[in-house]
Amino acid sequence: MSNVSRILVTGATGAQGGSVTRHLLHTGKYKVRCLTRRPHSNTAVALERLGAEVVAGDLNDPVALRASLRDCDGVFGVTDFWEHHDKEYLQGCNLVDAIFGSSVQHTVLSTLPNTKQLSGGRISVPHFDTKARIEEYARSRQLAATYVHVAFYYENFIRHFPPRLQRDGSYAFSLPQGTTTLAGVAVEDVGGVIAGIFAESFWYRDKTIGIVGDELRCDEYAQIMKLATGRPIVYRYLAHNDFAALDFPGAKDLADMFEFNRLYIPNRQADLAKSCELYPEIRRFERWMKTNVGALEQAMDQAPAA
């Protein structure tokens, strides 16, 4: 169902790109070319040892992009808002433009929903909406592509929102998600779903696939953490405005993201089912937690007390 054999992966030393590279190589069906600004980094060298071809390149450089696409018939593209901000849209358009005139037959782009449009202008989440605009541009050019909307990373509970020690001896994490379920996924499993899409690319042209490994309320995530660690972990709702006022870069953007999820994305069961179909080994949060409990405990011990 697919005649894609050599795939260019952008952002290959990042979370999604690295996962996609490893899964594609693991299938044994594809040659993978990794585009990175850091070809001599430890991550790039590790991918090279797995069998990837690593080339230096930049989404800001159309000439280098066109060169990196030579002899490729597939592309996985992901852009990084948090590093490039306003430049992300131009980078995404550069990639789309470079694909035209190349030998690429199918592209998978990592994008996100348009929060401003879906909320009727009530909410605008820049790191969502910029990727949505890239998707809109690619569709306007009738790119032969699949668009994937990746859920909240499980790893965020370790890297960004670990439960923090409270005065009463319990541990708590606070998000403005309320009681609405929050879709999540292990970042390493993203590549498994992408590999499944490339294997059946004919069927997924022009489709949007949500990549979801589990869908739980935040108190359910807390209960699983509690059982895994043996520590008293709870979820405490933090109002949108209070979260937005927290003293770290991007707090308002993330507060708006959770508010959008809470009000406009009540259920992603269809995405969960499709992700399981494309990659049957995708992990539910409980299974992922069992193999990451040490990292969570370390993050909890290092996090400042509330």
Q: Which residues of 49-80 are buried (b: 16+ CB within 10 A; e: fewer)?
A: eeebebbebbbebeebbbebbeebbbbbbbbb
In this prediction, residue 86 carries a pLDDT of 84
Q: For strands 31-36 and 53-56, give the pairing.
A: parallel
Shared-domain flag, residues 195 and 257: no
Using CA atoms, how far apart are residues 222 and 241, in angstroms rounded to an integer?
Answer: 23
Shared-domain flag, residues 58 and 197: yes
CATH of the domain at 177: 3.90.25.10
How many residues appear in the chain? Answer: 306
What's this model's pTM, rounded to 2 decimal places? 0.95
Shared-domain flag, residues 145 and 293: no
**Helix H segments across 78-183?**
81-84, 87-99, 115-118, 126-140, 156-159
Shared-domain flag, residues 178 and 30: no
CATH of the domain at 137: 3.40.50.720
Whether 79 is covered by a domain: the verdict is yes
In this prediction, residue 226 carries a pLDDT of 98
| Cα 90 from chain centre | 19
**Residues 180, 257 contacting (CB under 8 angstroms):** no
- Which residue carries 């590790």 as its tokens? 46
Shared-domain flag, residues 207 and 262: no
Q: For strands 152-153 and 214-216, give the pairing.
A: unpaired
Joined together, the tokens standing for residue 47 give: 């991918």
Walk along the chain (306 residues) and give the pLDDT tens digit of each residue: 556 799 999 999 999 999 999 999 999 999 999 999 889 999 999 999 999 999 998 899 999 999 999 999 999 999 998 887 889 999 999 999 999 989 999 999 999 999 999 999 999 999 999 999 999 999 999 999 999 999 999 999 999 999 999 999 999 999 999 999 999 999 999 999 999 999 999 899 999 999 999 999 999 999 999 999 999 999 999 999 999 999 888 899 999 999 999 999 978 999 999 999 999 999 999 999 999 999 999 999 999 998
Using CA atoms, how far apart are residues 10 and 12, in angstroms rounded to an integer?
Answer: 5
Judged by DSSP in three states, 29 sits in coil
Shared-domain flag, residues 126 and 248: no
Shared-domain flag, residues 111 and 175: no
In this prediction, residue 239 carries a pLDDT of 96
Shared-domain flag, residues 140 and 217: no
Whether 274 is covered by a domain: the verdict is no
Whether 276 is covered by a domain: the verdict is no
Domain interval for residue 292: 156-182+213-266+283-302
**Edge-to-edge order in the sheet of strand 152-153:** 152-153, 182-185, 214-216
Whether 259 is covered by a domain: the verdict is yes
Whether 172 is covered by a domain: the verdict is yes
In this prediction, residue 188 carries a pLDDT of 98
pLDDT digits (tens, 9 = 90+) for 161-173: 999 999 999 999 9
Nearest-5° angle of CA 158, CA 164, CA 165?
140
Whether 111 is covered by a domain: the verdict is yes
Shared-domain flag, residues 139 and 163: no
Shared-domain flag, residues 65 and 133: yes
Using CA atoms, how far apart are residues 190 and 287, in angstroms rounded to an integer?
Answer: 16
**Edge-to-edge order in the sheet of strand 6-10:** 53-56, 31-36, 6-10, 74-77, 106-111, 145-150, 208-211
Q: For strands 164-165 and 171-175, give the pairing.
A: antiparallel
- Phi then psi for residue 6, to 5 deg, are -120, 125
Shared-domain flag, residues 196 and 228: no
Task: Provide the 10 A C-beta neighbour count for residue 42.
Answer: 9
Q: Which helix (H) or strand (E) holds 183?
A: strand 182-185
Shared-domain flag, residues 202 and 53: yes
Say what percent of the chain tops pLDDT 70: 99
Joined together, the tokens standing for residue 288 give: 């992922």
Q: Give the HSE-up count for residue 36: Cα atoms under 13 Å, Cβ half-sphere.
A: 25
Query: Count of domains in the chain?
Result: 2
Whether 273 is covered by a domain: the verdict is no
Judged by DSSP in three states, 284 sits in coil
Whether 1 is covered by a domain: the verdict is no
Q: For residue 63, which amino acid is it?
A: V
